[in-house]
Amino acid sequence: MVSKACVVGMYQKKLEELARFQDVELSLVVPPYWRQGRSILTLEKAYTAGYALHVLPMALNGHFHLHFYRGLGKLVRQLSPHIVHIDEEPYNLATFLVMRTATENRATALFFTWQNLLRRYPFPFSFFERYNLAHAACAIAGNQEAVGTLRTKGYRGPVYLLPQFGVDPDVYRKLEPSPRQRDRFVIGYFGRLVEEKGVQVLLRAVAELEGQWTLHIVGDGPYRTTLEALTTQLGVENRVLFEPWVPSATMPRRLNDLDVLVLPSLTRHNWKEQFGRVLVEAMACEVPVVGSSSGEIANVIADAGRIFPEGDAGALRDALTQLVDHPSLRLALGRRGRTRVLERYTQKRIAAETRAIYLQLSDQI
């Protein structure tokens, strides 16, 4: 498997679970770090048991569509794998180079995609995409609309609907509540502060919410100044707390301190919500979730939370009011969310379904 995402330690748990199967001999290729905007995500070696970890230098690190691994061709020849799992979009240079290497070495290859918008790319990305769609034995799509996007682009091979990663339910679980003012209803948003994430809709919704409440906005981004100004305009600046992004190790604790988590994403011409990982993290902690109708959110939540029409602050306010007024509903939705995660979104479950894909490919080799 080739995956820059696996520089993040908690994502490596899927690899450990996959390596537990006796019929899977697994090697992972990762860069020493990934440059994400102004941040550097250094490789965390958190879950590395049972598989071989290969750290290769990466050229054009931080360029999502143009990065590639130095020395990967030599490593593939040495390992001589039966299957090469490329954890990248089909229009990326890295996917093309790995796919070509796999093809030259007679290995079966597959790629992963989140792309849920039908977009046409200029050369050379259009060439990379055509090549990868023509040579992939199968594809894994992280959301339902991504399956349709692949079909519209002419891909006729097998497509499996499966998230890229799950959560560890032993880490993301219900914890004893922290001491806090129990007379306040605590609402949370965790994510990027950009216009399309819809935090401005959430602010307008809570501004009309009755009772005692506090909103924690946890994350960073260029839209923060605009959002802070909006809190003043709405007169809720004393009840909204802006906090920087928190380390992954502290996320379960922070989520457990919420009464509800909200993901108010807005669809735009160049983006729509592809999954919403924080939803399953909160659900695993038995925290009720409310999400907009953008992209994959409704499919992730299903009946384990509340969905409102994206951009509709009034509808979001009504959903929050319902949860404020009915503690028993919060409890029921929290339990339902945990059950849904255990059934669909654990690292162990994702690993088992990935292995099943590998076995089907092995039958074709």
CATH of the domain at 79: 3.40.50.2000
Task: Kindly list the distances between the CA atom of residue 210 and the CA atoms of 214, 288, 321, 333, in Å, as whole numbers in the listed order.
Answer: 11, 19, 8, 22
Same domain for 139 and 224: no
Is the residue at 115 inside a domain?
yes
Do 8 and 154 share a domain, yes or no?
Answer: yes
Question: Are residue 15 and residue 84 in the same domain, yes or no?
Answer: yes
In tens, the pLDDT along 54-66 reads 999 999 999 999 9
User: How confident is the prediction for the chain on average, in pLDDT?
Assistant: 96
Q: Indicate whether 177 belongs to any domain.
A: no
Report, as an integer, the average pLDDT of 242-246.
92
Q: Is residue 311 part of a domain?
A: yes
69-116 per-position pLDDT tens digit: 999 999 999 999 999 999 999 999 999 999 999 999 999 999 999 999
Residue 202 lies in a domain: yes
Report yes or no on 172 lying in a domain: no
Asked if residue 135 and residue 8 are part of one domain, the reply reads: yes
Residue 245 and residue 160 share a domain:
no
Q: Name the nearest CA neighbour of 360 among 102, 151, 160.
A: 160
Tell me: do 156 and 108 sit in the same domain.
Answer: yes
- Count structural domains, the chain: 2
Asked whether residue 110 falls in the same domain as residue 44, the answer is yes
Q: Are residue 151 and residue 208 in the same domain, yes or no?
A: no
* Short-list 5, 162, 24, CA closest to 94: 5
Residue 20 lies in a domain: yes
Q: Which of 1-5, 34-38, 131-135, 209-213 has the lowest mean pLDDT?
A: 34-38
C-alpha to C-alpha distance for 109 and 100, rounded to whole angstroms: 9
Residue 179 inside a domain? The answer is no
Shared domain check, 36 and 63:
yes
Least confident of 25-29, 37-41, 59-63: 37-41
pLDDT confidence band for 182 (50 / 70 / 90):
low
Domain residue limits at 339: 185-344
| Whether residue 146 is found in the same domain as residue 9 | yes
One domain for residues 194 and 250: yes
- Cα gap 267→44, rounded to integer Å: 33
Q: Are residues 53 and 195 part of one domain? A: no
Q: What does pTM read for this prediction?
A: 0.94
For residue 285, give both structure tokens. Answer: 């902690």
Residue type, 319: A
Predicted confidence at residue 246, as pLDDT, reads 86
Q: What is the pLDDT of residue 89?
A: 98
